[in-house]
Amino acid sequence: MKAIKNRGWSVTLAGLGINLALGILYTWSIFKQAIKESVLAKNGVFDWDIASLNDPFAVCCLMFTVAMIFAGRIQDKLSPRLTAIIGGILTGAGLIVISQSNTLFAWIAGFGVLTGLGLGFGYASATPPAIKWFPSSKTGMIAGIVVAGFGLASVYIAPLANFLIANFGLSRSMLIFGVSFLGVVCVLSMFLVNPPEGYIPEDQTSAAKAAVTPSAPAVNFSPLEMLKSGSFYKLWFMYFIGAGAALIIIGGVAGMAKKSMGDLAWIVVALMAVGNAGGRIAAGVISDKIGRTKTLLIMMSLQSAIIFSLLFISESEAVLMVAAATMVGFNYGTNLSLFPSVTKDYFGLKNFGINYGLLFSAWGIGGFIFPRISQMIVARTGTQETAYLLCSILLAAGALLSLMTNAPGKSTREKTVWDQFREQLAIARAQPVDVYLGSRHI
């Protein structure tokens, strides 16, 4: 039998590169700050209601998660390459649309809907093929490396965005980003490929090999079976809180740092991105060693404490602000490697794309609800303290929930009608003929 070349690292690095382009989402706070300054200056360029400043970002998060479900199915059934190309085209198109208009509607349609869908398709294409090339002992590490690109993107996009906005204006900057990212994602998509059917990683242990042979199949949950599992809803709630709470900070960190750091506020965005990327890799490696739910307990507890500490940090305390933002980014990043890894561990690889897409809906809904509520609180009270306190309490509840979350075993899988029919057919076939004929023998 011809040996199969392991293309795992080329797929992993291509996925990392794609996410480095798609991570423009985490630079939203810089774009929002430029829009806010225009609104407050009443210069007519942007005529938005202050309470609506986060709406394009919130819609983007929601469309991101909607796309992940459909993109996951395309990735599973057809090709991660096709999924990435769709993502690159939609992302670029959305940014080009907002470069042509300053209205809230155009930004919701462009950045919110088109770019949001594009980010979902592109993101869904990167992680699944990469982890399929590696053994289970490296799932967390590989997932962490691939998704680190999405978090790390702001390290270069934040200063580049500031430079472009200062020299060319916000609209032309969006055009430059749109054309560039469309090209980059489509080129890198050529390197994405799933392993062939029956592929087993070279360094897979004999015990792990036995688990994926036809005689002892791995537990692969269909989307319906997963949705019938209590473990899914526990994971969903933790993801919803972990993502939503941090996205409040990520979406507004540039404005928070503006008072103490002025035009250098982008440094906080960049450092948060470093923490974001570092958290993804660190959590992946740690969870490979001590387990996913134990790592979730540690990270959600720490995030609860950090966000609570923001109640006592003044916007003029630059050093503390930078440290807190970096830690929030780090803890947020852990979610993006832990949840895809636990999806593979709990529900198998066969339907990983759509299964993780369904779980990822927690990220999108959290990203839609939390920033919107936070902006409404700020518009009403002038401070985010109430939002911080609420997030801290919810994160603590999520940490406690992780103690009650376990992988669903084979015996807990809900049987579909088709499963039951096949089971009964197998029993019938195993019976002797006289069972069917009663006492009449031929």
Evaluate if residue 121 carries a pLDDT over 70.
Answer: yes
Query: Has residue 187 been placed in a domain?
Result: yes
- For the chain, what percent of residues have pLDDT higher than 70? 81
For tokens 């990220």, the residue is 363
The yes-or-no verdict on residue 262 having pLDDT over 70 is no
The residue to which tokens 């390197």 are assigned: 191
Per the domain annotation, does 201 fall within a domain?
A: no
Tens of pLDDT, residue by residue over 53-66, are 878 888 888 888 88
Is a pLDDT exceeding 90 seen at residue 201? no
pLDDT band at 442 (very low <50, low <70, confident <90, very high): very low
On whether residue 197 sits in a domain, the answer given is: no
Count of domains for the chain: 1
The DSSP output letter for 431 is S
Sequence-distant (6+) residues with CB within 8 A of 121 are 67, 71, 74, 83, 84, 86, 87, 90
Average pLDDT over residues 35-50: 79
R_g (Cα) of the chain, nearest Å = 24
Highest mean pLDDT among 23-27, 31-35, 114-118, 284-288: 114-118
In-domain check, residue 199: no
Looking up residue 172, the CATH number of its domain turns out to be 1.20.1250.20
Encode pLDDT of 396-408 as tens digits. Answer: 998 898 888 887 8
- pTM value is 0.68
Summarised one tens digit per residue, pLDDT across range 343-395 is 888 888 778 878 888 898 888 788 778 877 877 777 777 777 788 888 889 89
Q: Residue 87 CA to chain centroid, in angstroms? A: 14
Alpha-carbon distance of 388 to 309, in angstroms, equals 9
Would you say residue 373 lies in a domain? Answer: yes
pLDDT at 211: 38
- Is 268 inside any structural domain? yes
CB 96 within 8 Å of CB 179: yes
Residue 422 lies in a domain: no
**Is 289 within the bounds of a domain?**
yes
Domain that holds residue 82: 8-192+221-408
Encoded tokens for 289: 């060693």
Of 254-263, 292-301, 402-411, give the lowest mean pLDDT range: 254-263
Q: What mean pLDDT do residues 82-103 have?
A: 91
Say how far residue 270 (Cα) sits from the centre of its chain.
19
